[in-house]
Homo-oligomer: A and B are copies of this chain.
């Protein structure tokens, strides 16, 4: 008969774990400092790797990309960043509904990501350094999305930025100001109202004629 594990958890040493997670933490800490010092655009994976005392390949292996590393610094999960990117980069048909539902569902179902997004937004509005980091991150993401899909070249970056801004506004109304008409409403209702609006911005009917 096995002994029950009972109170033995309490005797485990707390604090930093040894091994791979220490490397991960060193990279995160170096990235946090580099992004703050050089901005999102200026901070290179090479400089972050040097500061952390590791090979640049290990940074990419651990975090996937500079975008994902920035997400990790902000405590936004890899999955959440990928879901948002995928919603924007899919086919034009249904893009409004897809983007609205993906974004609002994260706010509803992923409280830790929602908290990180809220903190990012507050500090970006309040603090010039965080503001520049977020601006450069958005510009870089938008440029990447435009390269991926590429129809309607000139205006596409403006349209993606406009849609992203509208979503940020909905978050401010619903989650930060908590305007009752938005905060008390079911996510499905907001998605249904928002989807045709985002569709008009991201894939306007006039372009489909």
Contacts and interface: CB of A to CB of B under 8 A. Distances in A.
Given A125-B122, A170-B165, A181 B157 contact: yes
A204 B194 contact: no
A182 interface: yes
Interface in A13-34: none
The range of chain A's interface size is 35 or more
A165 B158 contact: no
Interface of A, helix, strand, loop or mixed by DSSP: helix
A165 B139 contact: no
7 contacts: A155-B193, A158-B185, A162-B190, A165-B170, A166-B166, A166-B197, A172-B172
Interface of A: 121-122, 124-126, 131, 134-135, 138-139, 142, 155, 157-162, 164-174, 176-182, 185, 189-190, 193-194, 196-201, 204-206
Given A131-B176, A169-B167, A177-B135, A182 B162 contact: yes
